Amino acid sequence: MIKDKPSFMLVDGMALLFRAFYATSITGQFMINSKGLPTNAIQGFVKHLLTAVTTYQPKHLAVCWDMGSKTFRSEMFDLYKANRSEAPLELIPQFDLVKEVVESFDIPNIGVPGFEADDCIGTIARHACSHAHVSILTGDQDILQLLDEHISVILLKKGFGNYLLHTPETFFEEKGIKPRQMIDLKALMGDPSDNYPGVKGIGEKTALKLLQQYEHVEGIVENIALLSKSHRSKIEQDLEMLHLSRKLAEIKCDVPLSYSLELAKFNYDHEKVSAKFLELEMRGLHRFLPQPIEVI
């Protein structure tokens, strides 16, 4: 590992915000301030973000966001994420407010209409890894396909400060396949949360076995005559959906966006952040504030 490369943490804002919201909303704790604004998701988001910053000490930070539900994937497959209900009323005003809080730390908010936060993360990570050690903070395992020797993934576990740090080596130990094969794994299995089916009747165990033997979807299709009658029949029946599911599963790494490592330096103004906390009446968050990191 080259020691003089800076550390750059990319944060999946959507994953942190939704996790924070549902952790408290289940008990009705929306933390509504005197202006009638709920802040439960924002407060949880800040705790997740600052706890990770204290733990991993990144010198640069950026937060990536979805920019609406319509993306190139929903154009490709109109049922993509169609199973998801509308955002709860208490969460809606927090989408814009949380970005204001991120801005108060002088951390860039990045999002591009037509693409998901994952695509922005993938694009920045692939570019930045040539000159920075990139880590990605998320709760979404789809991001694991981006792992390489210069990109690690920090998966949020239950509670605050509990993480599973993934590298290509730990991923291989867990799954027995390479990170890029995660795309083919999802193509075969489908993804109920994103609402695409993959190949009906093919679960993770079978998908992993096929990928370990034939490497990728193309290899499986090329050798379809060698498969068991049951597997061959299932794949032939859903061949079109298999290829479509692979396109839906792959994170795009060529989103038209710009970012600056220089502007992503983490060196916040304590007064500016305190003023934003006070404005939103978010008490008790100061204890999570890390010491600003000196960036050379």
Q: Are residues 52 and 123 in the same domain?
A: yes
pLDDT in tens, 84-103: 989 999 999 999 999 999 99
Residue 265 falls in which region: left (phi positive, over 0), alpha (psi -120 to 50) or beta: beta
What's the pLDDT score for residue 243?
Answer: 98
Q: Are residues 214 and 150 in the same domain?
A: no
pTM, full prediction: 0.94
C-alpha to C-alpha distance for 106 and 117, rounded to whole angstroms: 19
* 14 falls within a domain: yes
Domain of 222 in residue numbering reads as: 180-249
* 1 falls within a domain: no
Has residue 260 got a pLDDT over 50?
A: yes
pLDDT in tens, 37-68: 999 999 999 999 999 999 999 999 999 999 99
Q: Are residues 51 and 167 in the same domain?
A: yes
Q: Are residues 160 and 211 in the same domain?
A: no
pLDDT in tens, 62-71: 999 999 989 9
Q: Are residues 148 and 163 in the same domain?
A: yes
Q: Are residues 16 and 44 in the same domain?
A: yes
Mean pLDDT for 20-27 is 92
Please name which of 119, 147, 118, 152 lies closest in space to residue 135, comparing C-alpha atoms: 152
The structural domain count of the chain equals: 2
What CATH code is carried by the domain that includes residue 167?
Answer: 3.40.50.1010
Residues ≥6 apart with Cβ < 8 Å to 167: 147, 149, 152
Q: Are residues 44 and 96 in the same domain?
A: yes
Stretch among 2-11, 31-40, 107-116 having the lowest mean pLDDT:
2-11
Q: Which two tokens stand for residue 218?
A: 């193309």
Q: Are residues 57 and 85 in the same domain?
A: yes
Integer angstrom CA distances of residue 230 from 85, 119, 214, 216:
35, 35, 17, 19
pLDDT in tens, 185-239: 999 999 999 999 999 999 999 999 999 999 999 999 999 999 999 999 999 999 9
Q: Are residues 244 and 263 in the same domain?
A: no
pLDDT band at 2 (very low <50, low <70, confident <90, very high): very low
What's the pLDDT score for residue 1?
Answer: 43
CA angle 68–71–76, rounded 5-degree value: 150
Q: Are residues 23 and 160 in the same domain?
A: yes
Element at 138 (helix H, strand E)? strand 133-138
pLDDT band at 3 (very low <50, low <70, confident <90, very high): low
What's the pLDDT score for residue 292?
Answer: 54
* 295 falls within a domain: no
Q: Which backbone phi and psi does 146 adopt, to 5 degrees?
A: -85, -10
Please name which of 178, 221, 176 lies closest in space to residue 199, comparing C-alpha atoms: 221
* 293 falls within a domain: no
What CATH code is carried by the domain that includes residue 227?
Answer: 1.10.150.20
C-alpha to C-alpha distance for 75 and 51, rounded to whole angstroms: 37
